[in-house]
């Protein structure tokens, strides 16, 4: 589990937006309402919840500083 600043990865960022799996889910209308991740995959939901509370993104810090 990562604690502290996350190391940014441009390739992972692009892949997350352009993945085939994402396109299929979105086009098929299988999206879940926000906050319902625990219904689809409870284990992943808990992991992500802890990960996001123990680590932070450098881009969010820059966004707050420069108010983009």
- Mean pLDDT, the chain cut into blocks of 10 residues (68 residues total): 83 88 84 83 93 87 82
Do residues 38 and 48 touch, judged by C-beta distance below 8 A?
no
Helix (H, G, I), strand (E, B) or coil at 4: strand
Dump strand ranges (E) for 1-68: 4-6, 55-57
Look at residue 68 in the predicted model and tell me its pLDDT: 60
Measured distance CA(60)–CA(16) in Å, rounded: 18
The structure's pTM equals: 0.59
């Amino acid at each position: 589990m990562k604690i502290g600043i996350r190391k940014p990865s441009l390739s992972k960022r692009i892949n997350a937006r352009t993945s085939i799996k994402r396109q299929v889910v979105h086009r098929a209308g299988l999206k879940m309402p926000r906050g319902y991740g625990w219904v689809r995959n409870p284990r992943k939901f808990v992991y992500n919840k802890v990960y996001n509370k123990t680590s932070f993104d450098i881009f969010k810090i820059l966004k707050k500083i420069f108010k983009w």
